[in-house]
Amino acid sequence: MHPERARRLELWRLEGFDIARLEASDAILAFRVRARSNPRDERIVVFAELQRVPRIEDGGFGGGGADVREFDRVFGECLRVVREAQAQRAAKHRYYLNRIVLHVEEVIEASQQGLAVVARRFEGPTRGLGLQKVVVQARLRVGDKVSRRILAFAKRGRHRLEVHESVPSCAPIRPASDYQVRAERARRLGVIYPYEIIRSLSGTAGADPVMTPHPDMADGRFVELDLDASGPSGARLLPVDRAPGENTSGVVVGLVTHATKKFPDGMTRVWLASDPTRAMGALAEPECRRIIAALDLAAARKLPVEWLPVSAGALIAMDSGTENLDWTARVLRRIIAFTEAGGEINLIVAGVNVGAQSYWNAEATMLMHTRGVLIETDDGSMVLTGKRALEVSGGVAAEDERGIGGFDRIMGPNGQAQYRARNLGDAYRILFEHYAHTYVAPGERGPRRHMTQDSPDRSVLESPYRPVSDEVFARVGDIFSDATNPGRKKPFAIREVMLAAVDADAPPLERFAGMEGAETALTWDAHIGGHPVCLIGFESRTLPRRGVVPLDGPDSWSGGTLFPNSSKKVARAIRQASGNRPVVVLANLSGFDGSPESMRKLQLEYGAEIGRAVVDFEGPIVFVVIGRYHGGAYVVFSKALNERLVSIALEGSYASVIGGAPAAAVVFPREVRQRVERDPRVAALQQAITAASGAERARLRAELDALRQDLTLEHQGHVAREFDAIHTVERAVAVGSLDAVVPPEALRPTIIAVLDRELAQPSDAHPTLAPALPA
């Protein structure tokens, strides 16, 4: 090699590495290098020279086709060398810190937009090759000035390629530390090294800003904990002062605290994360001891647990076996005790979770009594058996783990994952929104109040109504107007009423949004009058069904009706809010669906779960009838179930065992028949039949049958109106089924007044009082 070429390509920067040249074309110099100070740092470095490059425009490469072809040829040869070197090693031992260095003689003129387009051109061909970066050494023209610059095309984890511009370095390439090797290996596995997450949470310099999208994440601090080796059983966690990455087990534990808008004094959580670089987070005694100790600490200090698992399940090795399963069972037992005592575990599933870890996730967040949330990213999955193991054992698998337990096809539709996130940063945004509604500082009774600027006296009637189909309403007030919605029978979107009721300066967070078959129930975490609440609404319009519709079930989801999954959704939402924040229900509800399909899919069980959730609920429940309120749903939200349930109705709404129309058709058919027979028109026609004969009598009898049918419908309408006129909300107040009737414009002020009064009561006081209405 000519010394001048070595100088141009800056090969001297590899002086900290042992190098071995790889076979490549004459235009390429390729080396396999190993750091002398850290033999674990092995990588491929490829150098190439380009006399000319295509002109870089805002839309990408421009200029002549020859320049583009030459660039693609040289760059493709570089990629071929890396690809062949990688193919010679097993997948788990491939190189992760590779780089390609392109030396360009020609002066380059390019805008940031043009460089970004070039970065996207690099993205596809470089995927899966373990490239840390593509470095371009060039002279860059900025205005009239030409200077030598370094353009580095790199990506963080699975984010898009980014372009970083810098001045040329005069220092040798530094060998990677063990920490850097592990962090890079985690990135190539598609997950994030736990200490990289810690850097973001604690605001360390160089942290990825994509990881901290929520404003409450700006001021954080982290204290790492580990088992006290001097203790009798090593069961206690103590702070440790050690460099990042020096953990000795596959689990990292700590205390993370953020100064937030609601908690300037600090919002502390017990933090757990798997280390995927250690046997892919496999679980044995060291990991399980730390998890149990973390749960013990959370219980003692009354803190929530924040858990980011990536795990291959119980450790499988030649020297350990069923004892690892026993340790995972001990963790399961501790999770059960922790959650049954009211402990909260919040999970972010951003990678593969197998076996025991998936069961832990279920026990922590999927059962009726659990308070924590499970947020699953697009890269996350929860499976009992991995894809390859399923195929080997003859089981039914999918194309990958996400097809077995990812959000889109499995965990979102079945409701076991409560939130979907695009990536880990988006998951943390959702989690901090959850904390804004639910976090309780140790020693306090409930979540802190939001200092809202939205007036408590604001009327919901003037809020705009945004039609989602063919509704005729322009304002929310039109829903409650006898002129535009007589009898409260026209369909409407309950979201619009819910949005009008909550604080305008505190956006709500919807839970179980992807749950299939539960679309008729909406469950939000929101603020009303600054109070954090669980807000439940029932969709008041017919919704289409997705997928195959069974022959014994409804063709669509009827408005105001609870189906099995929507019943389960409501019961879980009430359970999760119990002992933490009030529940507010906006009800236009006709009851439960009784079709064969719904009965087969546990309608009775999930309906009963709502009743149990209301009976067991700790805290105030504000139930508001905004339209019609009939049927079995009346029972599961009755005031008789819980002395802290305050039930009110808006003027013009209806509350009864059954609606007037079905009552007339099913309950009072004899009364309807009697009225038909007493109708003068029937009597007159019967007299005419008596006097007639022959064909005339036959014709009159047919006319009488038709008349009876018409009159039956007519008198059913009369009976229905009489029934509704008797069974009014005013009657429900008189017999004690409801506490009060308020005008629609008082909806929000009344809810706030009830919350103010109920939350001011001592925790052991449970008054049964009508709501104090706003003046």
- Tens of pLDDT, residue by residue over 65-108, are 677 788 888 889 999 999 999 999 887 788 888 999 988 888 87
Give residue-wise pLDDT tens across range 243-268: 999 999 999 999 999 999 999 999 99
**570 and 616 housed in the same domain:** yes
Q: How many domains does the chain have?
A: 4
Residue that the structure tokens 């749903």 belong to: 633
**331 and 253 housed in the same domain:** yes
- The Cα–Cα gap between 393 and 559 comes to 45
Please give the single-letter amino acid code of residue 135. Answer: V
**705 and 741 housed in the same domain:** no
CA 593, chain centre distance (Å): 28
pLDDT at position 692 is 84
- The Cα–Cα gap between 228 and 211 comes to 31
The Cα-based distances of 661 to 480, 559, 587, 617, 657 in angstroms read 21, 17, 20, 34, 12
205-229 burial, b if ≥16 CB within 10 A, otherwise e?
eebbeebbebebbeebebebbbbee
Span 455-466, mean pLDDT?
95
Identify the DSSP state of 156.
S
**Of 227-231, 618-622, 736-740, which has the strongest mean pLDDT?**
618-622
Residue 740 pLDDT > 80, yes or no? Answer: yes
Residue 114 pLDDT > 80, yes or no? Answer: no
The SS3 call for residue 583 is strand
Segment among 98-112, 166-180, 643-657 with least mean pLDDT: 98-112
pTM across the whole model: 0.84
Q: Which domain holds residue 522?
A: 510-545+552-657+728-759
- Between 389 and 168, name the one with better pLDDT: 168
- The Cα–Cα gap between 78 and 743 comes to 74
- 767 lies in some domain: no
pLDDT at position 60 is 52
- The Cα–Cα gap between 495 and 500 comes to 8
- 698 lies in some domain: yes
- 505 lies in some domain: no
- 430 lies in some domain: yes
**Strand 98-108 vs strand 42-50: parallel, antiparallel, or unpaired?**
parallel
pLDDT at position 772 is 47
**Strand 267-274 vs strand 305-308: parallel, antiparallel, or unpaired?**
parallel
Span 545-553, mean pLDDT?
90
Listed residues 147, 176, 205: the one ending a domain: 176
- The Cα–Cα gap between 213 and 428 comes to 8
Span 460-485, mean pLDDT?
91
Contact 375, 404 (CB under 8 A): no
**23 and 74 housed in the same domain:** yes
Q: Supply the DSSP string of 324-338, one letter for each residue.
A: HHHHHHHHHHHHHHH
Span 756-773, mean pLDDT?
64
**153 and 233 housed in the same domain:** no
Residue 370 pLDDT > 90, yes or no? Answer: yes
Q: What is the mean pLDDT of the chain?
A: 88
- 186 lies in some domain: no
Span 483-500, mean pLDDT?
91
Which H helix or E strand runs over 323?
helix 322-340
pLDDT at position 337 is 97
Reading phi first (left if > 0) and then psi (alpha if -120 to 50, else beta), residue 335 is in alpha
- The Cα–Cα gap between 528 and 457 comes to 11
pLDDT at position 231 is 63
Q: At what angle do helices 694-726 and 680-691 cross, to 10 degrees?
A: 170
User: Cβ contacts of residue 278 below 8 Å, gap of 6+?
Assistant: 247, 249, 250
**752 and 675 housed in the same domain:** no
Please give the single-letter amino acid code of residue 286. Answer: P
- 502 lies in some domain: no
Residue 655 pairs in a beta bridge with: 629
Listed residues 176, 201, 227: the one ending a domain: 176
- Closest-CA residue to 223 (of 303, 281, 292): 303
- 500 lies in some domain: no
pLDDT at position 143 is 74
pLDDT at position 470 is 79
Q: At what angle do helices 194-201 and 178-188 cross, to 10 degrees?
A: 100
- The Cα–Cα gap between 407 and 394 comes to 24
Residue that the structure tokens 């309780």 belong to: 440
- Closest-CA residue to 543 (of 481, 603, 494, 478): 494
* Percentage helix, strand, coil for the chain under 3-state DSSP, each rounded to 5: 40, 25, 40
**263 and 153 housed in the same domain:** no
Span 411-425, mean pLDDT?
95
Query: SS3 string of 21-56?
Result: EECCCCCEEEEEEEECCCCCCEEEEEEEEECCCCEE
% the chain with pLDDT above 90: 55
Count of CA atoms in the C-beta half-sphere (13 A) of 150 = 14
Listed residues 393, 421, 438: the one ending a domain: 438
**236 and 126 housed in the same domain:** no
CA 681, chain centre distance (Å): 63
**154 and 291 housed in the same domain:** no
**722 and 752 housed in the same domain:** no
The SS3 call for residue 646 is strand
pLDDT at position 308 is 97
Give just the sign of the alpha carbon dihedral 153, 154, 159, 165: negative
- The Cα–Cα gap between 414 and 427 comes to 19
Contact 576, 447 (CB under 8 A): no
Q: Supply the DSSP string of 721-754, one letter for each residue.
A: HHHHHHSBHHHHHHTTS-SEEE-GGGHHHHHHHH
Span 721-741, mean pLDDT?
83
Residue 764 pLDDT > 70, yes or no? Answer: no
- The Cα–Cα gap between 732 and 482 comes to 21
- The Cα–Cα gap between 438 and 95 comes to 44
- 449 lies in some domain: no
Tokens of 221: 């601090």
**405 and 273 housed in the same domain:** yes
pLDDT at position 413 is 94
Span 30-51, mean pLDDT?
92
- The Cα–Cα gap between 60 and 101 comes to 20
Residue 346 pairs in a beta bridge with: 306
**Of 46-60, 79-93, 402-416, 571-585, which has the strongest mean pLDDT?**
571-585
- The Cα–Cα gap between 632 and 562 comes to 10
**Strand 531-538 vs strand 521-528: parallel, antiparallel, or unpaired?**
antiparallel
- Indicate the burial class of 160 (C-beta count within 10 angstroms; 0-12, 13-18, 19 or more): exposed
Identify the DSSP state of 409.
I
Q: At what angle do helices 65-87 and 112-126 cross, to 10 degrees?
A: 40
**98 and 224 housed in the same domain:** no
Q: Supply the CATH number for residue 229's domain.
A: 3.90.226.10
Neighbours of 393 (CB within 10 A): 9
Tokens of 382: 């929860």
- The Cα–Cα gap between 341 and 739 comes to 33
